[in-house]
Amino acid sequence: MESDINDAIKDVEDKLNINEGPIERNLEKAKSGLEDKKNDIKKSLETAKNSTQDNWEEVKSEVSGTMKDIERGFNSLKNDIKKSLEEIGDNS
């Protein structure tokens, strides 16, 4: 998932040279959201690495929920980026 997010960030960065006001702002917002999701993944993995046998089930449940939230957010951001890029194509 982190690799997919990195790819999406790179794709957005490649498109950020577009001077289309609202579209450019949407892409910047999407990039920021992707970076936030990437940080969430790192935090979840760190939490899992620091777990103990005593709290593993609780940590596993929390990390699983976080990862599902991250995946939903990532998919939503990908759709937002796709829509923004389609708008750019329509304006060309």
List per-residue pLDDT tens for the chain, 92 residues long: 678 777 877 777 776 666 566 767 777 787 788 888 888 888 888 888 888 888 888 888 888 888 888 888 778 877 877 777 777 666 55
Tokens of 40: 């969430």
For 2, 20, 42, 50, 80, the CA distances from 39, given in Å and listed in that order, are 9, 28, 5, 17, 20
Q: How far apart are CA 36 and CA 48, in angstroms?
A: 19
- Start-to-end Cα distance in the chain: 32
Spatial separation of the C-alpha atoms in residues 25 and 12, rounded to whole Å: 11
Sequence ranges of the domains in the chain: 2-91
d(CA 76, CA 80): 6
Q: What pLDDT score was predicted for residue 32?
A: 85
